[in-house]
Amino acid sequence: MIEEIDNVPEIRNNPADTGDEYGSGKSPFSYEPPKEKEPLPARIISIILHPFFMGIYGVSLLFLYTDFRLIFAGQFTRFITPVFFLTCVIPASSIFFLRKAGLIKDYDLRNRNDRFIPFVAAFCSYCLLIYYFVSAGLYAWFIGILVAPIVLIVIAAITTKFWKISAHMMGIGGLIGCTLSVCYNVKGLNPFILFIILFILAGCLGVSRLMLQRHTPGQVYTGFLVGLIVSYLCVLIGAYWGVIMFIKNL
């Protein structure tokens, strides 16, 4: 009788092993909590105000609230086409192909280690855009608008090594900083309604990034301030550089 008991197969203590009887590797008693759905409004806002679109919005605003629409009348397409292609299509395509190749984990770049190659692609794209507009003889302050994203990309690439700063907030902060600097330091304008709208949008984007749990409040605030200050200074330096070059050419 004792020998019969000793010959009984040992019962497996691992519940996952019993899944073989059901044709799967999981126990019928295992439980996985359902994944929480991301808030749709926050997701939509994050897409609409994605950093890839900031260049398009920036050029569009120049034609909306400055005399660009008069100086370059009928040339909006000439400006927006290279901006759209180099600041939106190429960076977005790089992320798409990297994801398809399995080199990054997701399109949102949630893992900060996945950001380096897309940053390099965006950096090169903005360099080509600067070359295009410098060759066209555009104003120095306008070139400053294009230099600002390059500086921000470098800051983000360095910061990402040890901290996940919000690229979304850097983007919209850069848009607001450029707009403020162009208005106050170049054109002498004060479109306060536009400023109110932009700051409200920045607030909505910051809340959206927090709701989606992509960043901490510190990462959101820091990203916005860095984008705002860097872009404001880039346009300001470009404006002064333009004045200096104009005086030298007299």
Residue 201 and residue 172 in contact, taking contact as beta carbons nearer than 8 Å: yes
Q: C-alpha distances in angstroms, 171 versus 58, 94, 122, 196?
A: 11, 18, 12, 17
In 3-state terms, the chain is what percent helix, strand and coil (to 5)? Answer: 75, 0, 25
pTM of structure: 0.81
Q: Is the pLDDT of residue 4 over 50?
A: no
What is the structure's pLDDT at 39? 82
Q: Which of 94-108, 134-148, 184-198, 216-230 has the lowest mean pLDDT?
A: 94-108
pLDDT digits (tens, 9 = 90+) for 96-138: 888 888 877 777 777 767 778 888 888 999 999 999 999 998 9
